[in-house]
Amino acid sequence: MTDDKALEDGMRAKLVAVKQAWARAGRLLTGSSDVDHSHRLPPGQRLVTNWPVLDLGIQPDVQREEWELTIDGAVVNPTIWRWADFAQQPAFEDVSDIHCVTQWSRYDNHWQGVSTQHLLSVVQPLPGARHVILHSYDGYTTNVRLDHFAEDDCLLAHSHDGAPITREHGGPVRVIIPRYYLWKSAKWLKRIEIVMTDKPGFWETRGYHNEGDPWTEQRYG
């Protein structure tokens, strides 16, 4: 193992340990909830105008010409999209707020990409499929319910506020699922696995909530 790799692994391990300690301690929880969404800002959140960068200490450098997305599992039509294929799909735009479990929120993000509803229409999940496992180029995984993944504001985004999503924010393609805390919106998207049975992902197996609804403060499991 090189010195740089050892340092990278050590930093990642420290970050994960800190986040797991937060989960055990219930850090940032206010004990309140606003399930009727009567306020735009979920409980315990603070509004920012910048876009903070959070990751596991690894930012894969995936160029568009090298990027490839596999959609498989419990589907009728397993599919692989390379960038040219992705670019030929119907264009989709949406404006949504995002909420990070580390307590910041950002309003009115303008996204461009391909809707998850269109993607699902292409691959056709099998009867009985209930969950989606998102896989990233850095080895990260996270799980979401299929019906939530299919909501009309969800997309595979390639652009944010009129510019291509940068490497640090998960480009060339990342998932956006506004209903959940942002850890569910996987960066550096590599694979979408449709499954019958739920499989908790990286943070969900390390003390974080299995769903992650910011309005009910589902920060930790």
59 backbone φψ class: left, alpha, beta (φ>0; ψ -120 to 50): beta
221: in domain: no
* Per-residue pLDDT tens over the stretch 183-195: 999 999 999 999 9
43 domain-assigned: yes
* b/e map 85-123, b = 16+ CB within 10 Å: ebeeeeebebebbbbbbbebbbeebebbbbbbeebbeeb
The total of structural domains in the chain comes to 1
Does the pLDDT value for residue 31 go beyond 70?
A: no
Expressed as residue numbers, the domain containing 155 is 3-216
Token pair in block for residue 155: 């997309």
Burial class (CB in 10 A: 0-12, 13-18, 19+), 167: middle
* Residue 102: inside a domain: yes
CATH of the domain at 208: 3.90.420.10
- Going by pLDDT thresholds of 50, 70 and 90, the confidence category of residue 26 is low
Flag whether 199 is in a domain: yes
| Burial of 37 (C-beta count, 10 Å sphere; 0-12/13-18/19+) | exposed
pLDDT, tens digit (0-9, with 9 covering 90-100), for 109-145: 999 999 999 999 999 999 999 999 999 999 999 999 9
**Is residue 198, in this structure, part of any structural domain at all?**
yes
> Does any domain span residue 59?
yes
Q: Is residue 148 part of a domain?
A: yes
pLDDT band at 2 (very low <50, low <70, confident <90, very high): very low
Question: Rg for the chain (alpha carbons), in Å?
Answer: 17
How much is the pTM?
Answer: 0.84
- Across the range 4-18, mean pLDDT stands at 48
Residues facing 94 on adjacent strands: 111
